[in-house]
Chains A and B, each alone.
Chain A
Amino acid sequence: MRGRSLAGTAACVLAIALAAACSSNSSSGSSGTGSSTTTATFAEEPGAGPDYIFPMLTGTYYSVANIEEFQRLSYRSLYWIGDNGSPVINQAMSLADMPTYSDGNTVVTIHLRNYKWSDGQPVTTRDVAFWINLLKANKASFAAYIPGEFPDNLKSYKIVNSQEIVLTLTKAFNPNWFTYDQLSQITPIPAQTWDKTSASGQVGNYDQTPSGAVKVFNYLTAQSKDIATYGSNPLWQVVDGPWKMASYQSGGYVKFAANPAYSGPDNHKLKFFVEQPYTSETSELNVLRSGHTLSYGYVPLQESSQAKVLQGQGYTSAAWNSWGINFFVLNYNNPTTGAIVSQPYVRQAMQSLIDENAYIKGPLQGYGHTEYGPIPSKPSNPFVDSYETNGPWPYSVSAATNLLKSHGWTVHPGGVSTCTSPGSGASQCGAGVPSGAKMVFSLPYASGNVEGSQEMQALKSAYSQAGIQVNLSTAPFNTIISRVAPCKSSQSTCSWQMAWWGGGWTYGVDPYPTGDQLFATGSGSNFSNYSDSGLDALIGATVHANTSLQSYEDYMAKNAPVIWLPMPVYQLSEIASNLHGATPQSPIESLTPENWSFSS
């Protein structure tokens, strides 16, 4: 048996050579940050590390990782969303008092509270105006800019004093909408250090001319593109938030140090806050399972049974509910299937074939909630109503079949249903649906998500029971996004029929849950090409008049312009049991480690 012994020796050589080489200095390694009581380490979402610090960022860098989990730690917005887990304005953490609206909701007065920059200067209305001026001159480069909205709807502003600024709007707006969706996007930035056009140049008032504002923006953008200097660039060392960048490594590793001059409400028990990047959920879980280096990680939903094991290792799990909704989109302009999905009864039948409760119990392992309309039912919030929460189209194959049958379709369970009674009568297939039209759709969805794949397989199976054939395909999220675009039926890019990019919409920088960006005719993120004047009127009322969201959301739930899917938790967090203050977690995924502390 010398053969075996040789192989055995070889394997040992391999292991020993490597182990010996490393055991000598393993103690000096970077592991063990979780055991320190002054540093908390947070696991970033896979493949999504922060890499852009200047808060006026382009769409390329627009992400939760960059905004909520990076910039907001140093640069606070005028109004902070998220109060005790609910998606409402947190007055204590906002830089300004709640705004007052006057002159028929066309004039807004904002009064700043006593915040200071880390260099000792107060945060003033000049810093607010600095942001507005840069935005006006560079709006196309700001990810959250939507044509017609801020700053297009701003007629003028006037600085009353260092703490009071008055905005005059182009027309009347719903104060709730304007505060949540427009004012919360304003991030005062330090004019006293940032208003310059080159590193060696003097600080001035360049932002006050459009061409100067472009130069300042370009300078700050260029500085923000120099990530090698993130830890040292004096620009980024002037902050009004509780955290200041201490070091940064490309790939998304970032270490924040507490800002000793922070003037907001905090306890600041931690000295450092570290964010650690991962490439995949599995690699993160492996780390979580094999050691104690993370104080705040997550378990992929399909492995949620690991939560129990991790409990034994000193972690407590907490489901993180995100302020968002989940749906897949239908292309209303597709030359073949557009006319079919334009019929409300077809979408209602499709909605009736989604067994949301089974998806939650199965693929989501209980970590999700039902969602039947545009306003999230969780986390608890003042906007959603019971009609939407209960859902007008509960799971029922027979209801779906009957809807199709009563509208001129011959249903072939397991096969392909066809339209046998065309026409626009009440019992016919509807306008534009020809005789013999087939219920066949292609549905590409985002790969790399186990639960999603399970749901889509279940969906295909359920749809086929009503004779709706869904041909699934997968592609990475970005590929799906790039192929699903608003289009005209004559364009070749309009060949897509359905699509699911693995989620729906997160009300992040636009936390007021109305449909002006998503479902209004021609709006930027209306991928479906949905166009409904009735709905447009309802949306308009929520933006311009002081109308509640109820009629809008009920209409959406009833008509299902997109097909609603259950909303999974953002993540199943695993928080070190001795780390306190991290829950409830923010509905817009921001982090407030200044409130965290370790017990010994």
Chain B
Amino acid sequence: MTSVGEVAATLTPAAGATQRRARLVLDTFLANRAAVAGLVLIVALTLFCFIGPLLYHTNQVTTRLGLEHLAPGSGRPLGTDEVGYDQLGRLMVGGQTSLEVAFGAAAVAVLFGAAWGATAGYFGGLVDGLMMRIVDAMLAIPALFLLLILATIFRPNVGMLILVVGLVAWLVPARLVRGESLSLRTREYVLAAKTMGVRAPTIIRRHIITNCIGTILVNATFQVADAVLLVAALSYLGLGIPPPAANWGSMLSNGLDFSYSGYWWMIYPPGLAIVVTVVAFNLVGDGLRDAFGLARRR
């Protein structure tokens, strides 16, 4: 016996077509050299942060006052930071936090945002009006302003920061997905599923969100890049993750506190790590967007 959902599923574009489309997307993406370079950079950075510490052992637990601010030399390729941690090892550990927060926040943002947008778009009418006005209202507060309020309320640690940045970032995907689902809900297979009595959450999950996957994926990539920058800005304003946890943003702003003292190794490595990461995710995002054939939104 086939369930109603499965019947409805057969009304969606054939599985073969989906596969062909995925193939096309992949081919277009791989033909884009900049995008591939971005992807390679992301993989390299991730390996550096997560595999690096296994190969390059440093003590990131015990502070060593008296060994702080040492310039790069033998045994410490990037010198030490303001409490005597090895800066290269710190860069790896800090990168873990930066990437975790960025990926986490992007995931929270697109998952929640997509669900919100798809629901609003699917139901339309009053529900849509109300849900989207809430999105509009939060979008009317500049991201950094909203982030500041949230960061003061919730004492930031990694989990909290993911939530806080996600709470600010979900608005754009919500709007994008809602736009697409407005047209998707009038598609034949959605109407068919509806008449067969498939429940709304199932339709939203299986038909609306699945068909917005391109938009969602592209947006998620940009969200990661934005999250890295937002966390850096928060760290600079003193509302980032407290030490001893480090992230590239806090390392950079720590370094900048000493900028007159000439400790360049405390500024450029984390600063460049941020720039490279953000560029890489933007390149991949651009590539994905072209591959999915979406309109340029940024």
Q: State the A residues within 8 Å of B (CB).
A: 282, 285, 289, 300, 302-303, 305-306, 309, 355, 358-359, 361-363, 414, 444-445, 447-448, 450, 453-454, 456-458, 460-462, 464, 472-476, 479
User: Do A458 and B63 touch (CB < 8 A)?
Assistant: yes
Chain B, 244-291, CB within 8 A of any chain A CB? 244, 254, 256-258, 260-261
How far does the alpha carbon of A90 sit from the alpha carbon of B150 in the complex, in Å?
49
Chain B, 212-248, CB within 8 A of any chain A CB? 238-239, 242-244
B254, closest chain A residue (CB): A450
Give B20 Cβ to nearest chain A Cβ, in Å: 39
Interface assignment of B157: CB less than 8 Å from any CB of chain A:
yes
CB contact under 8 A between A306 and B260, given known A458-B65, A458-B83 = yes
How far does the alpha carbon of A309 sit from the alpha carbon of B262 in the complex, in Å?
12
The B interface is mostly helix, strand or loop, or mixed, namely loop
Interface assignment of B14: CB less than 8 Å from any CB of chain A:
no
User: Do A305 and B260 touch (CB < 8 A)?
Assistant: yes
User: Do B260 and A359 touch (CB < 8 A)?
Assistant: no
Residue of B66, B254, B258 touching A303 (CB-CB under 8 A): B258
Residue of B68, B82, B83, B242 touching A473 (CB-CB under 8 A): B242
Give B253 Cβ to nearest chain A Cβ, in Å: 10
User: Do A358 and B238 touch (CB < 8 A)?
Assistant: no
User: Do B242 and A474 touch (CB < 8 A)?
Assistant: yes
Give B183 Cβ to nearest chain A Cβ, in Å: 40
Residues in chain A near residue B238, CB distance under 8 A: 447-448, 474, 476
Residues in chain A near residue B156, CB distance under 8 A: 473
B65, B156, B238: which has the most chain A beta carbons within 10 Å?
B65
Give A317 Cβ to nearest chain B Cβ, in Å: 14
How far does the alpha carbon of A444 sit from the alpha carbon of B156 in the complex, in Å?
11
Interface assignment of B155: CB less than 8 Å from any CB of chain A:
yes
Residues in chain A near residue B66, CB distance under 8 A: 358, 361-362
A355, A456, A464: which has the most chain B beta carbons within 10 Å?
A456
CB contact under 8 A between A444 and B65, given known A303-B261, A305-B261, A306-B260 = no
Residue of B62, B152, B244 touching A476 (CB-CB under 8 A): B152
Interface assignment of B295: CB less than 8 Å from any CB of chain A:
no
Top 10 closest A-B pairs, CB basis? A362-B65, A474-B242, A447-B238, A461-B63, A448-B238, A358-B65, A458-B63, A450-B257, A457-B83, A473-B242
CB contact under 8 A between A444 and B155, given known A300-B257, A472-B243, A473-B242 = yes
How far does the alpha carbon of A361 sit from the alpha carbon of B84 in the complex, in Å?
13
How many A-B Cβ pairs are below 8 Å? Answer: 84
Give B59 Cβ to nearest chain A Cβ, in Å: 10
Residues in chain B near residue A457, CB distance under 8 A: 63, 83, 243-244
B155, closest chain A residue (CB): A473
Interface assignment of B15: CB less than 8 Å from any CB of chain A:
no
Q: Quick one: CB contact mask for B41-52 with A, threshold 8 Å, 1 for yes?
A: 000000000000
Residues in chain B near residue A300, CB distance under 8 A: 257
Beyond A458-B83, A462-B63, A474-B238, list 13 extra A-B contacts (CB 8 Å).
A302-B261, A358-B66, A362-B83, A363-B82, A444-B155, A447-B239, A450-B82, A453-B243, A453-B254, A457-B83, A464-B61, A472-B243, A473-B242
User: Do A461 and B155 touch (CB < 8 A)?
Assistant: no
User: Do A454 and B83 touch (CB < 8 A)?
Assistant: yes
Give B62 Cβ to nearest chain A Cβ, in Å: 5
CB contact under 8 A between A285 and B155, given known A450-B82, A453-B243 = no
User: Do B261 and A306 touch (CB < 8 A)?
Assistant: yes
User: Do B257 and A361 touch (CB < 8 A)?
Assistant: no
A286, closest chain B residue (CB): B260
Chain B, 28-62, CB within 8 A of any chain A CB? 61-62
Give B239 Cβ to nearest chain A Cβ, in Å: 7
How far does the alpha carbon of A460 sit from the alpha carbon of B63 in the complex, in Å?
9
The contact sample of 6 A-B pairs, CB cut-off 8 A, is A306-B260, A309-B260, A361-B66, A363-B65, A444-B155, A476-B239
How far does the alpha carbon of A190 sit from the alpha carbon of B49 in the complex, in Å?
68
How far does the alpha carbon of A476 sit from the alpha carbon of B238 in the complex, in Å?
8
Residue of B61, B157, B242 touching A461 (CB-CB under 8 A): B61
Residues in chain A near residue B261, CB distance under 8 A: 302-303, 305-306
Chain B, 127-152, CB within 8 A of any chain A CB? 152
Residues in chain A near residue B62, CB distance under 8 A: 461
How far does the alpha carbon of A461 sit from the alpha carbon of B62 in the complex, in Å?
5
How far does the alpha carbon of A460 sit from the alpha carbon of B152 in the complex, in Å?
23
User: Do A282 and B257 touch (CB < 8 A)?
Assistant: yes
A300, closest chain B residue (CB): B257
CB contact under 8 A between A472 and B254, given known A305-B261, A362-B66 = no
How far does the alpha carbon of A457 sit from the alpha carbon of B63 in the complex, in Å?
7
How far does the alpha carbon of A475 sit from the alpha carbon of B240 in the complex, in Å?
9
